[in-house]
Amino acid sequence: MNPLEGFLYGLGLSLSPEILIAALAAGLAGTLIGVLPGLGPVAGASLLLPITFAYEPSIGIILIMGVYMGAQYGGSTTSILLGIPGEASAIPATFDGYPMAKRGRAGAALVIVAIGAFVASTLALLAVTVSAPVVSQFATKFTSVEFFALTAGGLFLLARISGAQVGAGIGASLFPMFVGLGLAMVGTDPTQGEFRYTFGQIDLSLGFDLASVAVGLYGVSELLMMLEERVSKNVVQPVKVRELAPSKTELRQAAFPWLRGSALGFFMGLLPIPSATMSAFTAYRIEQGMSKTPEKFGKGAVPGLAGPEAANASAAVGSMVPVLMLGLPFSATLAIAIAALIVQGIQPGPLLVTQQPELFWTVIASLFIVNIVLFILNVPLVSIWVRVLRTPRHILIPVIIVFAMIGSFSVNNNMLDVYVMLAMGIVGYIFRKLGFGLAALLVGLVIGPLIEKYFLQSMLVSHGDLTYLVSSPVAAIIWIAVLGSIVWTAISGFRKRRKRATDEMPVVIGKMSEEE
């Protein structure tokens, strides 16, 4: 089946009432989650995860991805209307989107974001449609060596890049990663079925549930952080329906940034990095660098809004390629998407296209539908999102926490998951305060069992020869990148310390002269 045939096949399967309703519900839920403070796509997707168990796998994936894509829209909406980003990837939208809104161009800014996200997602989905079968064929040649390198090396790079507060050092990136891997070992071992770290508790034999950990780590901790602050005095910028249309000049200024952002975001989505956030920032810098009027950036420059938002949307779709083709999530939300598949007995990977084409192509086609739904509905519903933003947080916070308790309990109908949610909420709060990263912990929890599986397979095949782990070119390249990351950290740390010592020297010399 060639990509066009596959897409049309998937589209035919997607035009069923259940899938259309799922796409609509997920898009709206995702936008609401992106607009609301305190949830975010990770916690929101994990709350939906138990609901996906009752439906077929394609609907489960559509729900999770719809929330992810919708949350990008929602996060940008608060960036533009309130100057407060709903997500990290929506931070660049505050630089120029909020100034546009203050100038009375909020409607135009929202439409530029909506069109850009639609164009970018569509182009990225076309790229996925064309590239996924090629990647799949390439990846069927991978053995446990390559998969071990991709999982373990990819996790390490993710921890280093997205891990910790800037300047916190390599330990602050790796510590949460090892915590996640350690939690992943709780349960039943894959070799002999022995219980590990269950301490006699039968409930722990299934391990820690991802949804509870994600909701606690991201959702509950974010609510605690939010409660610390005073109520924001930022005024929600009004949006008049008649001012929704961007001018011809604004559309012309946005066109090429949309295209550049789409290309950049898709390629960054293929990498083991927090692609949505990094592509948005990178696109902003590129647009500023390429602009003939860079001084206008930060004051309502249309390219400064259009490029990053397109990159953001495109990266979200591009990151589906490693998820579906290799079974590797390089972000916390995609880790939940993987969990939604695995629970249904589906192992994402290179054989997904050939062994379950109906699932694969239905997901791709449905993402197109989600994209269209988001584009059509989001801008007209802006007034609803504005009302949601005005919900007092003393009502919002406990309601979200009840959602979190329901979501955590309903995974296994077990109170243990609710206790885990609470504990991880406190851990997440402490980690945030101390500058430790959360994404590596969550991704470590999800792909820890995969890393172990590929490691054990490699050891069985090679009769215990550790050099087997670097015996393939792909694996060697990945481990060289990992080594390079460690060396770079050491060099940049050494340079910073030398610079600090050099900056302090004139003071010391001056003091010595005075003493003499």
Partner 1 sequence: MSVPRPESSGGEDETFTIDVPRWRAGAGAVGFLLFVGYLLEAMRLDPGSLSDPGPGLFPIVIGTGGIVSTGFVVVEALRASRATATLPKGRRAKDVIFLLIGLFAAVLLLPILGMYIVGPVYTAATAWGLAPRHRWRGAIIGAAVVLGVCFVFTEVLQVRLPTPIW
* Region 314-333 residues binding partner 1, contact defined as CB under 8 A: none
> What does the per-residue mask of binding to partner 1 show for 91-120, with x meaning CB under 8 A?
x-----------------------------
Select the span of 59-67, 95-103, 205-213, 454-462 touching partner 1 (CB under 8 A): 454-462
Interface residue with partner 1, options 71, 123, 124, 181 (CB under 8 A):
181
Token pair of 383 as six digits? 């007034």
The backbone region for 345, taken as left when phi is positive above 0, alpha when psi lies in -120 to 50, beta otherwise, is: left
Question: Cα(249)–Cα(259) distance, rounded to whole angstroms?
Answer: 17
> Rule CB under 8 A: which of 198-227 touch partner 1?
220, 223-225, 227
> Rule CB under 8 A: which of 257-316 touch partner 1?
274, 277
Give 278 or 379: the residue with its C-beta nearer to partner 1: 278
Please report which helix (H) or strand (E) contains residue 494, including its range.
helix 473-515
By CB under 8 A, tell whether 406 contacts partner 1. yes
Q: Which residues contact 112 (CB under 8 A, 6 or more apart)?
A: 246, 250, 251, 254, 302, 305, 306, 309
Interface residue with partner 1, options 11, 24, 185, 244 (CB under 8 A):
185
Interface residue with partner 1, options 16, 131, 232, 291 (CB under 8 A):
232
Token pair of 311 as six digits? 């990159």
> Rule CB under 8 A: which of 132-171 touch partner 1?
162, 165, 167-171
Q: What is the per-residue DSSP string for 304-320?
A: HHHHHHHHHHHHHHHTH
Q: Which residues contact 402 (CB under 8 A, 6 or more apart)?
A: none
Report the C-alpha dihedral over residues 222, 226, 227, 231, rounded to 10 degrees: -160
> Minimum CB separation from partner 1 for residue 211, in Å?
12
Alpha helices, H only, 344-381: 352-355, 357-378
Give 422 or 476: the residue with its C-beta nearer to partner 1: 422
**Residue that is written with structure tokens 């796509």 in the block:** 41
Collapsing DSSP to helix, strand or coil, 188 comes out as strand
**Number of residues in contact with partner 1 under rule CB under 8 A:** 85
Give 4 or 460: the residue with its C-beta nearer to partner 1: 460
Give 434 or 508: the residue with its C-beta nearer to partner 1: 434
Please report which helix (H) or strand (E) contains residue 460, including its range.
helix 439-462
By CB under 8 A, tell whether 477 contacts partner 1. no
- C-beta atoms surrounding 270 within 10 Å: 20
> Minimum CB separation from partner 1 for residue 425, in Å?
8
Q: What are phi and psi of 283, to 5 degrees?
A: -65, -40
Question: Cα(349)–Cα(344) distance, rounded to whole angstroms?
Answer: 15
By CB under 8 A, tell whether 189 contacts partner 1. yes
> Rule CB under 8 A: which of 68-87 touch partner 1?
83-87
> Rule CB under 8 A: which of 31-50 touch partner 1?
50
By CB under 8 A, tell whether 401 contacts partner 1. yes
